[in-house]
Structure 1
Amino acid sequence: MDDDYREPEPFESAPARTATETEWRFAAPRLILVEWHDAHADWHNRVMADELFASPTYLPREGVEALACPCGNYKQLTVAGTWGGPLSLQCPCPSPLRANSDAPWAVNLLKRLILWHADATSELRQLNDLIIEHHTAHQIYRDRVTDLVDNSAAASTAHDLRALMHAPIPDNNLLPLARAVARREERETRPMRLRRALREVRLTPEGERPRYAGGPLTRYLIRAMTALADSDDRDLVFTEEGHRLLDTIDRVTTDIQQHDPGSTTHR
């Protein structure tokens, strides 16, 4: 499995009713989305930003994609392992081998999957908190940039300008995602709207392993949309946590569409 993946430590501890030594084995969710990072693209983008090109061309440097077996299959995977131990994935492909990883990201991913298996709403709670946290940070940065532009560089301090120059490269994937989510088509339920938006922003065509580009806020929105749109028979959309997460997705994407630079209503 790819060591360029990353996965944060889950907020919640091991399920209370089981010991950490318990051997878990269960069917994985339809898609296991993990964070990918491209070091070459990151270097390329920093060069573009430092050189102050008039029209810089940035490459996708991070995002989320579906975790897959070495054979390429990313569906009907089986998860096995203990809390805090290495992640083991078994694929229904003809090969009897299992993909194993004890990398930090894989250990954290196994914890997340165990929490999801024990209580699928736990992931919804975590994603809701992460989206709110990163959206708040996004708003603070956006307001600071707006103030600098409105007050002009001449009225800004050297410290402000330096901070702006060395700020992270804006996430160009966030506004297209927000627009896709905010658009409502006739007779389209909320899960249908999320599935359609996910199709519109994915980097890979239908039928291939899903891959998306974007920074932290975009990644958590993608994961949340996937969890709600593809919850199968768990009906996560109709849970209290599901309703709360849907409302958070709508509120955040509406704010981004209305106020981010490049939106049709931005002034």
Structure 2
Amino acid sequence: MDDAYSEPEPFDPAPARSAAEAEWRFAAPRLILVEWHDAHADWHNRVMADELFAPPSYLPKEGVEALACPCGNYKQLTVVGSWGGPLTLQCPCSSPFRATSDAPWAVNVLKRLILWHSDATSELRQLNDLIIEHHTAHHIYRDRVTDLVDNSAATSTAHDLRALMHAPIPDNNLLPLARAVARREERETRSMRLRRALREVRLTPEGRRPRYAGGPLTRYLIRGMTALVDSADRDLILTEEGRRLLDTIDRVTMDVCQHDPGGLGSGS
């Protein structure tokens, strides 16, 4: 289901060598996380949001998960394709599968992987910018909700109230992730802390294809954390871009813990 996935366009242009090479072939990162969306769950959640006589029971409607071969394997995949072309992944089971022929999300995934193969820090820079962008949007929305709660409906404009009524359902996955990242256990390195946090918020058990739920900010935090801890021998967490991304993740998650309803700042 091609329309079940999405992927933002990479910020960086194509590597220079791509003009001379028609096709790329290289080992993929340990996980290729892509954004998934569940239209049925989205419809269900909107119905629940309008329910007046029963407590809402929301379903995960979006998040990130690892791309996998139809055989179920999501590790040791080989990326094959040209810049701007369809994405093909070769599985160790020897059954090549084409993710799609023309879906924009797959083309963008291939571009992202080519950039990662040429310069792994390019993805760290993009994720850092995306986290900052969506944290800013989250901060603006949170402040607006706080203002409306602090002021009575009589002092709020009809436009403000309509905007709040039709705002997206809050991301209930963000605060648990932020709490998991912010918690520091004894003798735990920053890399170990990120790995633990990812295990705690994962929807699937160990050994199954990794899947996480959450809105844009949660998704990019998880992708950033995964990129840092799954860099194998590249030691991306020690690069300048890695340290900057790590600092951004810590700063954003601490802000969520301190200021979001139910966070550390509210006494919970």
Instruction: Give the TM bin, normalised by the shorter chain.
Output: over 0.9
Residue 55 of structure 1 deviates from its aligned partner by 2.0
Please say if 1:42 is aligned against 2:45. Answer: no
Q: Is the 8 A contact 2:2 2:100 kept in 1?
A: no
> TM-score, structure 1 length as denominator?
0.96
Correspondence for 1:213: 213
Q: Which residue of 2 aligns with 1:262?
A: 262
Per-residue deviation, 1:159 = 0.7
- Does residue 16 (structure 1) correspond to residue 19 (structure 2)? The answer is no
| Alpha-carbon distance between aligned partners in 1 of 2:52 and 2:229, rounded to the nearest angstrom | 40
Q: Matched residues in 1 for 2:45 and 2:139: separation?
A: 23
Q: Which structure 2 residues correspond to residues 128-167 of structure 1 after superposition, within 5 A?
A: 128-167=128-167
Q: What is the correspondence of 1:120-199 to structure 2 with a 5 Å cutoff?
A: 120-199=120-199
**C-alpha RMSD over aligned residues:** 1.4
Q: 1:4 Cα deviation (Å)?
A: 1.1
Structure 1 Cα separation of the partners of residues 246 and 53 of structure 2: 39
* Superposed CA offset, 1:14-69 (max 9, x none): 01233075310000000000000000000001111123455211100000000000
Q: Secondary structure at the match of 2:17?
A: coil
Q: Classify the secondary structure of the residue corresponding to 1:11.
A: coil
Secondary structure (helix, strand or coil) at the match of 2:80 reads strand
Aligned residues between the structures: 266
Distance in 1, Cα, partners of 2:55 & 2:62:
21
How far apart are residue 126 of structure 1 and its match? 0.1
Cα deviation code 1:88-134 (max 9, x no counterpart): 000001x4333341211111100000000000000000000000000
State the one-letter code of the partner of 1:160.
D
Whole-Å separation in 1 of the counterparts to 2:20 and 2:11: 16
Distance in 1 (alpha carbons) for counterparts of 2:152 and 2:204: 41
Q: Post-superposition shift, 1:8?
A: 1.2
Question: Closer, same or farther in 2 for the Cα pair 1:2/1:209, shift >3 Å?
Answer: farther
- TM normalised by structure 2 equals 0.96
Identity percentage over the alignment? 85
| Equivalent pair of 1:21/1:83 in contact (CA under 8 Å) | no
Per-residue CA deviation, residues 201-245 of structure 1 (Å, 9 max, x unaligned), is 000011100000000000000000000011100000100000000
Which residue of the partner structure matches residue 99 of structure 1?
Answer: 98
Q: Any stretches of 5+ residues in structure 1 without a counterpart?
A: none
C-alpha change, 1:53 and 1:6, in structure 2 (3 Å) is farther
Q: 2-side partners of 1:74 and 1:2: how far apart?
A: 18
Distance 1:47 1:18 in 2: 48
Query: Matched residues in 2 for 1:216 and 1:200: separation?
Result: 19
Change (3 A) 1:71 1:191: same
